[in-house]
Amino acid sequence: MHPRSILLIDDNDQIRVLLRLVLEEAGYCVLDAANGREGLRQFRETPVALVITDLLMPDSDGLEVTMTLRRESPHVKIIALTGGVGNLNLLEVAKLLGAHRTMKKPIEMAELLEAVQQVLQEGPRQQEPGSHVTS
């Protein structure tokens, strides 16, 4: 697995193409998929260091992708994205399920590149101090 390899999963073709171009120009090796099911298939065939996934998609959404990746490949880094009003709870759920970072669309490209660099440099995901899950 290449340390600068990324799998980008987003059902919006325009966003996926734009993010892929920006990431490739920054020197990353990028694979992409139009939905969660295809993204998981690609990841199983060609594991990557980082998965960037949209949360709202048909055919296996980003939360399912995050849960599956955490179970099958706990070492992979995950950035979860979502757009639209009222989806901030989805970002919190993604964090609880194991996303290293969450971002709200529209995304500033400089902010995305900084997040990608930071997440790839981080060690294994650990629970933040003072945070806990209650039942």
Q: Residue 117 belongs to what H/E stretch? A: helix 109-121
The verdict on residue 131 lying in a domain is no
Residue 125 lies in a domain: no
Quickly state the pLDDT bin for 134 (edges 50, 70, 90).
Answer: very low
Q: Is residue 43 part of a domain?
A: yes
Report the share of the chain in percent with pLDDT over 90: 74
Read off the CATH number of the domain in which 32 is found. Answer: 3.40.50.2300
What domain count does the chain have?
1
For 17, the domain range is 5-120
CB 103 within 8 A of CB 121: no
| E strand or H helix at 23 | helix 13-25
Question: Are the C-beta atoms of 85 and 42 separated by less than 8 Å?
Answer: no
Q: Tell me, yes or no, whether 95 lies in a domain.
A: yes
pTM of structure: 0.89
User: What confidence tens digit (pLDDT) does each residue in 46-94 have?
Assistant: 999 999 999 988 878 899 999 999 999 999 999 999 986 666 688 999 9
DSSP 104: E
